[in-house]
Amino acid sequence: MAKTSGFMEFGREKQPYRPVDERLLDWSQVMQPWEGKALNQQAARCMDCGIPFCHQGCPLGNLIPDWNDLVYRERWQEAIDRLHATNNFPEFTGSLCPAPCEGACVLGINDNPVAIKAVELAIIERAFVEGWVKPRPPSHETGKKIAIVGSGPAGLAAAQQLRRAGHTVSVFERDERIGGLLRYGIPEFKMEKNVLDRRLQQLAAEGVQFHCAANVGVNVDPSQLQRDFDAILLAGGATTPRDLALPGRNLRGVHFAMDYLTRQNRRLEGEQLAEEPEFSATGKQVVIIGGGDTGADCLGTAHRQRAKHIEQLEILPRPPGTRSDDNPWPEWPRVYRTSSAHEEGGERVYAVSTKRFIDDGTGKVRAVEIVEVALNPVGGRMVLEEIPGSARELPCDLALLAMGFVAPERPALDQLAVKLTERGNVWRDPSWMTSVRGVFAAGDMQRGQSLIVWAIAEGRAAAASIDRYLMGQTDLPSPVA
Ligand X SMILES: Cc1cc2nc3c(=O)[nH]c(=O)nc-3n(C[C@H](O)[C@H](O)[C@H](O)COP(=O)(O)OP(=O)(O)OC[C@H]3O[C@@H](n4cnc5c(N)ncnc54)[C@H](O)[C@@H]3O)c2cc1C
* 135: preceding bond cis by omega (within 30 degrees): no
Size of the site for ligand X (CB under 6 A): 41
Q: Which is nearer to ligand SF4, 222 or 443 (CB)?
A: 443
Rounded to 10 deg, the angle between the 193-206 and 153-164 helix axes is 30
CA distances, 190 to each of 180, 296, 335 (Å):
15, 11, 21
Q: How many residues does the chain have?
A: 481
Interaction of residue 117 with ligand SF4, rule CB under 6 A: yes
> 3: helix, coil or strand?
coil
Interaction of residue 294 with ligand SF4, rule CB under 6 A: no
Instruction: Name which of ligand SF4, ligand X, none residue 62 binds, using a CB cut-off of 5 to 8 Å depending on partner kind.
Output: ligand SF4
Site string for ligand X, 179-198 (x = CB under 6 A): -xx---xx---x--------
Interaction of residue 151 with ligand SF4, rule CB under 6 A: no
Interaction of residue 235 with ligand X, rule CB under 6 A: yes
Q: Which is nearer to ligand X, 60 or 105 (CB)?
A: 60
CA distances, 466 to each of 215, 254, 256, 416 (Å):
22, 43, 36, 18
**Residue 334 contacts residue 324 (beta carbons within 8 Å):** yes
Q: How far is the CB of 51 from ligand SF4 (least distance, A)?
A: 16
Which of 362, 364, 361 is CA-nearest to residue 254? 364
* Contact window for ligand X (CB under 6 A) among 11-19, 28-36, 108-116, 212-220: 212-220
Interaction of residue 339 with ligand X, rule CB under 6 A: no
Interaction of residue 120 with ligand SF4, rule CB under 6 A: yes
> 120: helix, coil or strand?
helix
Strands 168-172 and 145-149: parallel
Instruction: Name which of ligand X, ligand SF4, none residue 396 binds, using a CB cut-off of 5 to 8 Å depending on partner kind.
Output: none
Q: How far is the CB of 46 from ligand X (least distance, A)?
A: 22
Interaction of residue 236 with ligand X, rule CB under 6 A: yes
Phi-psi region of 143 (alpha: psi -120 to 50; beta: other; left: phi over 0): left
Q: How far is the CB of 286 from ligand X (least distance, A)?
A: 16
Contacts of 31 (CB under 8 A, 6+ apart): 15, 16, 17, 18, 95, 121
* Contact window for ligand X (CB under 6 A) among 130-138, 277-285, 306-314, 440-448: 440-448
* Contact window for ligand X (CB under 6 A) among 28-36, 83-91, 105-113, 437-445: 437-445
Q: Which of 40, 42, 93, 340 binds ligand SF4 (CB under 6 A)?
A: 93
Interaction of residue 199 with ligand X, rule CB under 6 A: no
Q: Which is nearer to ligand SF4, 122 or 235 (CB)?
A: 122
Interaction of residue 97 with ligand SF4, rule CB under 6 A: yes
Cβ-count burial 323-342 (b if 16+ within 10 Å, e if not): beeeeeebeebeeeeebbbe
Q: How far is the CB of 84 from ligand SF4 (least distance, A)?
A: 12
Q: How far is the CB of 300 from ligand SF4 (least distance, A)?
A: 20
Q: How far is the CB of 356 from ligand X (least distance, A)?
A: 25
For ligand SF4, the binding residues in 447-476 under the rule CB under 6 A are 453
Q: Which of 313, 455, 464, 476 binds ligand X (CB under 6 A)?
A: 455
Interaction of residue 344 with ligand X, rule CB under 6 A: no
Interaction of residue 62 with ligand SF4, rule CB under 6 A: yes
* Sign for the pseudo-dihedral over CA of 420, 332, 80, 18: positive
Which of 458, 453, 476, 327 is CA-nearest to residue 54? 453
Cα 220 from Cα 214, distance rounded (Å): 6
Interaction of residue 99 with ligand SF4, rule CB under 6 A: yes
At 377, give phi and psi (nearest 5°): -75, 125
Binding residues vs ligand SF4 (CB under 6 A): 57-58, 60, 62, 64, 93, 97, 99-101, 116-117, 120, 453
